Amino acid sequence: MIVLGIETSCDETAAALVKDGHQILCSSVASQLAVHRPFKGVVPELASRAHVERINDIILNTLGASRHPVDAIAVTTGPGLVGCLLVGTITARMLAWVKGIPVVGVNHLEGHLFAGLVEHPTLKPPFLGLVVSGGHTELVIFKGYGRYARLGATRDDAAGEAFDKVANLLGLPFPGGPSIDKAARHGNSAAVSFPRAWIPGTDDFSFSGLKTAVANYLHNTPARTRAKAMDIAASFQEAVVDVLVKKTLDAARSHGLSSIVVGGGVAANSRLREAFLKAARVKGVRVYLPDRAFCTDNAAMIASAGYYKLKRGLHRREKLKVNANLEVANWSLR
């Protein structure tokens, strides 16, 4: 079964063709970085307009990449920016109607975990999933396809949001995650001892205190040199990585899970990847990290998640009704 995936939840217009949930035939992503960079963040109205301008070309190019007909469509329905989601869902519905093929809606966070599954067809549930993106930090047990138990989430800023905001404080370009990742490679991660919010007894996270600690530190000790800014970037990054890795491994142990899938834009972070792989070796668990290109938003992960929903016949319930759904942050979309 060939599924066309469509992803427009935030600032990437993406389409992909995935065969049988795992074979990526084509994956295209049109970035809107240039549109949002002057504003140091994603401007929702501009993002929706940019999706409208790009979506037809992206889909046509993707469809042109395969000689085989598309059997079904999977589209991100939420969480995300409502105007952006509407562009994707309306396009998906229209295309499904014209072609007379089924369409299913996919939760964007669920999609991020499928980025790990696409590349590892042998990985079977149950496993622990950590989604670390610009809008979410979520720890879930992936019990089976469509069966998720949410263990914890951020109580304030998402991990990616913290990277973006701290990069801004340091005068580094948007998006902040890749900028900090790059700057931190030349910095000393032990230079500043920033706080870690462990929130004992829960699987929740918190990053706003860390962000404030960096702001206060810069207020008292301005980073006047490039070297100092790199030290602060590395020390901040280390604090985020420390908490994400330790809390995830603790959750895996307490729930008896030996496989962990990490997804979302922050999963592209070099230090996080290194720390997860090292901790996995020490603790004897397997950590699955998608290829960097599939950590950030893409449509292959949506097509893969959609394939498993189609196999369960969920398109029959949805018919042509897929729509932007802002109430899916709790993994309620099955």
Interface ranges with ligand KG4 (CB under 6 A): 10, 133-135, 160, 163-164, 175-178, 181, 264-266, 268-269, 296-297
Farthest CA pair distance, the chain:
63
- The partner in contact with residue 7, picked from Zn ion, ligand KG4, none with C-beta cut-offs of 5 to 8 angstroms by kind, is none
State in angstroms the smallest separation of the CB of 201 from Zn ion: 29
Which residue of this chain has its Cβ atom nearest to Zn ion in the complex?
133
State in angstroms the smallest separation of the CB of 161 from ligand KG4: 6
Cα–Cα dist 129/1, whole Å? 26
- Closest to ligand KG4 by CB, 72 vs 288, is 288
Closest CA to 163 of 80, 242, 246, 265: 265
- Closest to Zn ion by CB, 133 vs 235, is 133
* Tokens read off for 79: 């969480």
Tell me how many degrees the CA angle 170-171-176 measures, rounded to the nearest 5. Answer: 80
- The partner in contact with residue 266, picked from ligand KG4, Zn ion, none with C-beta cut-offs of 5 to 8 angstroms by kind, is ligand KG4
- The partner in contact with residue 62, picked from Zn ion, ligand KG4, none with C-beta cut-offs of 5 to 8 angstroms by kind, is none
- Closest to ligand KG4 by CB, 29 vs 95, is 29
- The partner in contact with residue 160, picked from ligand KG4, Zn ion, none with C-beta cut-offs of 5 to 8 angstroms by kind, is ligand KG4
Output the 3-class SS for 101-116: CCEEEEEHHHHHHHHH
Helix H or strand E encompassing 99? helix 82-99
State in angstroms the smallest separation of the CB of 135 from ligand KG4: 5
Closest CA to 115 of 329, 334, 299: 299
State in angstroms the smallest separation of the CB of 131 from Zn ion: 8
State in angstroms the smallest separation of the CB of 7 from ligand KG4: 9
- Closest to Zn ion by CB, 229 vs 300, is 300
- The partner in contact with residue 187, picked from Zn ion, ligand KG4, none with C-beta cut-offs of 5 to 8 angstroms by kind, is none
Asked whether the beta carbons of 246 and 239 are under 8 A apart, the reply is no
Torsion of the alpha carbons at 10, 299, 159 and 177, rounded to the nearest 10: -80
